[in-house]
Amino acid sequence: MGFNWRYDSGLVAGAVPCVALTDTCGSTDLTQVDVSGLTPDQQFQAGLFCGSVHAAPPSATSALGVPISPTGLCPAAQYGSTLVSIPATGTQNDDKNPQRIAPRNLFDLSVGDDNLFHGEKYKWSLQLTAINLTNRVALYNFLSTFSGTHYVTPRALTAEVGFHF
């Protein structure tokens, strides 16, 4: 039997718009967030929302996807993300308090037996493995210069049967 618990605190997600006291986010306006620099699909991938409006990916009815705001601006008090930790209004700092991929806990479990039927000459083994047991949806990185956007592996179940002679 094996159990694995992995905690990841999150990488810096510099491409996600924020609300800061300086122009590090592209604006000194603390009341609005400009998300027009991201496509609707990128907004969806980052889990961005404006109030109750969540971004939607491209589909048959909307080739570009649906942005969180038709104007590209969202009131700072209503802006957030389900997958990225965005600092509170006016507290963002590129060095000490940047926007980061949300922290996550992931669990893996494996159980098995190396001599299933208690044979002496021929032995059967069986192993069952579950990766991301809770099926947590989480970003691994967002718009990384070198690797793009990736999510953690969704739940994966595997079974292995072996015959040893």
The one-digit pLDDT tens for each residue of the chain (165 residues) are 999 999 998 888 878 887 654 445 555 566 888 898 899 999 999 999 999 999 999 999 989 899 999 999 999 889 999 999 988 877 878 888 888 999 999 999 999 999 999 988 999 999 999 999 999 999 988 988 888 899 999 999 999 999 999
pLDDT score for 87? 86
Please report whether residue 151 resides in a domain.
yes
pLDDT score for 27? 53
Please report whether residue 126 resides in a domain.
yes
Parallel, antiparallel or unpaired: strands 148-151 and 156-164: unpaired
Give the count of beta carbons closer than 10 Å to the beta carbon of residue 83: 20
Name the nearest CA neighbour of 141 among 4, 8, 29, 1.
8
Please report whether residue 73 resides in a domain.
no
Q: Rounded to whole angstroms, how far apart are CA atoms 7 and 73?
A: 34
pLDDT score for 28? 55
Name the nearest CA neighbour of 108 among 39, 155, 52.
155
Give the domain range for residue 153.
2-6+103-164
Please report whether residue 44 resides in a domain.
no
Domain count, the chain: 1
- Helix and strand element counts for the chain (H, E): 1, 13
- Are 38 and 17 in contact by the 8 Å Cβ rule? The answer is yes
The label of the residue with tokens 């008090």 reads 77
Query: Helix, strand, coil proportions of the chain in percent (round to 5)?
Result: 5, 40, 50
Please report whether residue 93 resides in a domain.
no
Please report whether residue 117 resides in a domain.
yes
Please report whether residue 134 resides in a domain.
yes
φ, ψ for residue 141, nearest 5 deg = -155, 165
| DSSP SS3 for 99 | coil
For CA atoms 60, 65, 66, 72, give the dihedral sign: negative
Please report whether residue 141 resides in a domain.
yes
